[in-house]
Amino acid sequence: MPRWIPPLVAIIIGIALGLIYGWVISPVQFVDTTPNSLRADYRADYVLMVAETYHANQDAGLAARRLAIFGGDAPATISAQALQTGQASGYAPNDISMLQELTRAMQAYQPVPTAVESTP
């Protein structure tokens, strides 16, 4: 048997043990995750909460701020994605209606620019 075979076998065994340890026994733990990692149906349900609130108070600014929890996407995009998920998931017609209402509002929503004092 060639001399390089035993070390190679040992390294392969070591790699296998390392993978088992790293993937199975002690995998990387994610405990402080962010909402944009949420599964699509959970995201959609959060957006539905925002839609329910918007349906009652018609406060587009508040709804947009609450949707900003998902990070960089535009509020209209987040809402439209939730609407698609809701339709695919068989949400009740009333829920779909509220998501549609929110999506329309977010598409029309223009953030109020903050007043900036002009410098001389």
Partner 1 sequence: MKRFPWEWLIAIVVGFSLGLLYAWVISPVRYIDITPNTLRADFKDQFRIAIAASYASTHDLGRAKARLALLGDSDSNQALTAQSQRMLAAGESIDVVQQVAQLAANLLGGLAQIQPSAMATVSQKTAIPTAAATGSGTAAPTIPVESPTIESTPAIVFTPTPRPTHTPVPTPGAPYILIAQDTVCNSNLTDGLMQITVVDKHNHQIPGVEIIISWSGGEEHFFTGLKPEIANGYADYIMQAGISYTVRVAEAGTPAPNLTAPNCPDSGGQTYTGGLHLTFQQP
- Provide the token pair at 30: 């994610």
Per-residue interface string for the shown chain with partner 1, residues 35-74, x marking contact by CB under 8 A: x-xxxxxx-xxx-xxx-xx-xxx--------x--x-----
Query: 90-119: which residues touch partner 1 (CB under 8 A)?
Result: 90-92, 94-95
The least CB distance from residue 56 to partner 1, in Å, is: 4
Contact 44, 88 (CB under 8 A): no
Q: Which lies closer to partner 1 via its Cβ, residue 69 or residue 74?
A: 69
Does 32 interact with partner 1 (rule: CB under 8 A)?
Answer: yes
Asked if residues 103 and 63 have their Cβ atoms less than 8 Å apart, the reply is no
CB 106 within 8 A of CB 58: no
For partner 1, which stretch binds (CB under 8 A), given 3-11, 73-81, 108-116? 3-11
- Measured in whole angstroms, how far is the alpha carbon of residue 13 from the centre of its chain? 39
